[in-house]
Amino acid sequence: MMTWVLVGVAAYLLVGLRFAFKGRLAFMVNTQVAVVDMRGPVSRWKKVVFKFLLRLGVMLLYPFFLIWG
C-alpha cells in the first residue's frame, strides 16, 4: 500500500517538474523573471532564488495553474 502512495507522489512530482521546465507554465516563470530583471538593478542571487521558488511552486501546485491559468 505504501509503495503505491510513494509511486503516486513521485509521479505527481515528475509531472510537476516537467511543467516547471517545459511548456506554458515554464514560459510564465521565465516571463516573470524577465519582468523583475527589467524593473531595475536586482542582484543575480535574488533572481536565481526567485526563479527557483517560482519553479518549486509550479512543481507543487501545477493543477491549480492549469485549471485557473
The predicted-structure confidence for 19-64, as pLDDT tens digits, reads as follows 999 999 999 999 999 999 999 899 999 999 999 999 999 999 999 9
Q: Which amino acid is at 31?
A: T
Q: Give me the pLDDT at residue 15, please.
A: 95
Distance CA 50, CA 20 (A): 13
Distance CA 36, CA 57 (A): 17
Q: Give me the pLDDT at residue 2, please.
A: 87
Distance CA 59, CA 69 (A): 14
Q: Give me the pLDDT at residue 1, please.
A: 81
Q: Give me the pLDDT at residue 38, please.
A: 93
Given a contact cutoff of 8 angstroms between Cβ atoms, the answer to whether 47 and 37 are in contact is yes
Per-residue pLDDT reduced to its tens digit, 4-14:
999 999 999 99
How is residue 5 written as a grid cell?
502512495
